[in-house]
Homo-oligomer: A and B are copies of this chain.
Amino acid sequence: MTNTESAATPADRPIVVVLTSDDLGPPPDLAALSELATIRIATADELPTALPGARAVFVWDFFNPALADAWPAADALEWVHVAAAGVDAVMFDELRDSAVQVTNARGVFDTPIAEFVLTSVLAHLKDLPQLARAQQEQRWEHRETRTAAGRRALVVGTGGIGRATARLLRAVGMEVRGVGRVGRESDPDFGVVLPSDELAEHVGWADHLVLVAPLTAQTRGLVDARVLAAMRPEAQLINVGRGELVDEPALVAALQRGELAAAALDVFVTEPLPADSPLWTLPGVQISAHLSGDAVGWRQALAEQFEANLRRWLAGEPFESVVDKRRGYASSGR
């Protein structure tokens, strides 16, 4: 544990614990944070020692679930900020039932993830993997491509990332519908939003099924064998949300049976994806290492976002990107 406390610390200067790992290290611009608060850098092991007296925790190592176990030591906690869009790894019942406010990294990942989804759509339609194979074998192979304009995408998740994705897919001429907790008409970004519990009835409409939803009790296992069986045989699944949104063994079976044509998967039930997963080598599957939102400069942006919220807190202003702890995600304000 590294402690920037000093004898001169005024009483109103809050103690903030930054949860990190040895590999990850502290966030950039630590000096700026230390101007504002007493910063205690702690790994998971050090967390129980660091928490007493701390009024805030910055979960910089954003999938680190250590706060749950260290919870009894959190005797002064008011605020937890998670440097991720999805807070599922960090949430637990005591935190949910407490008065502690939770904020997340809303906004930072919107454009990069939307672009990654569009990239995955286009790479599939233009069959870049086959072009690459032909090039590798130095074969001049003419192929027809498919056009994105006019194709249909169902975007599951109507938060900031889902909205940015819907807008980008629409910008290139695709037809988009949303899938959310509750259905509604006339959404500004989606037009129609369908209720997620009717996904199996509606998924046959889509050429591309895009998962950007948070992982909650309602979304866990949402794309199950029934949904997969209802997909169009030429359709593509794109998952940039959480691995657990999909029944992974059912997906493998559906791909093997040709119930859908392709999948671009950036997230998995177990990460790193185990070496023995059949997904690595299934035809039509694009694998990436949970990186869709991580554009150059993302760590800096995450640190700056926390610092901005810290300044708001110290000034007595309301936080930005507050997580609805019961629902498990930050409202997009719509």
Interface residues of A (CB under 8 A from B): 111-112, 115-116, 118-119, 122-123, 125-126, 128-129, 131-132, 134-135, 138, 140-149, 168, 171-173, 271-273, 275, 280-281, 286-292, 294-296, 298
Contact = CB atoms under 8 A, between A and B. Distances in A.
B115 A122 contact: yes
3 nearest CB pairs, A to B: A140-B272, A171-B171, A119-B122
Given A115-B148, A134-B287, 18 more contacts: A112-B145, A115-B122, A115-B125, A115-B145, A118-B172, A119-B123, A129-B132, A131-B286, A131-B287, A131-B288, A132-B132, A140-B272, A140-B289, A143-B291, A145-B292, A145-B296, A147-B295, A171-B172
A77 to B, nearest CB: 30
Given A132-B132, A142-B290, A289-B142, A116 B126 contact: yes
Nearest to A271: B140
A115 B119 contact: no
Contacts of A148: 115
A112 B145 CA distance: 8
Contacts of A271: 140
Contacts of A125: 115, 119
A291 B172 contact: no
B280 A112 contact: no
Contacts of A272: 140
Contacts of A112: 145, 147
Nearest to A266: B131
Given A115-B172, A128-B119, A168-B172, A145 B295 contact: yes
Contact of A111 (B147, B171, B294): B147
